[in-house]
Amino acid sequence: MSEKKFLPERLISVREHLGITSAEAARRTGIKKEMMWKYENGISAPAEPTLRIISLYLGTSAAYLCGETDDPGPDMLVVKVGNDPDKAQFVRLYDQLSGHQKKLIIAVMKELST
């Protein structure tokens, strides 16, 4: 399996789209400012777990940061369920549905929310 090629310019683009500084990106991701600078300047590339953290906290995907897709949208969504077991169950069940079933559920939810 080939190693992913990290593209620093994509990290910069995502950060700038969010309107944040490199220091703020570092703060949001829990990465040291010096390391974020190294990632953005192509001196170092993040390891896979760090790449996932960056993509999650900056609302993009590891695939985008590595040039595997041109879609900067996220490939993961974190849902805070707190003390709501119904929300957790909904997400688990939704993930098991077919594409057609998901569209039906979305249509029903839109109807209910109006």
pLDDT digits (tens, 9 = 90+) for 20-65: 999 999 999 999 999 999 999 999 999 999 999 999 999 999 999 9
Does pLDDT of 110 surpass 90? yes
Considering only CA atoms, which of 50, 55, 52, 63 is closest in space to residue 14? 55
Domain that holds residue 110: 79-114
Residues 21 and 52 in one domain: yes
- Assign residue 25 the CATH number of its domain: 1.10.260.40
Considering only CA atoms, which of 30, 34, 74 is closest in space to residue 56? 74
C-alpha of 81 from chain center: 18
**For the whole model, what pTM was predicted?**
0.70
Segment holding 24, helix H or strand E? helix 22-29
Residues 44 and 89 in one domain: no
pLDDT, position 3: 56
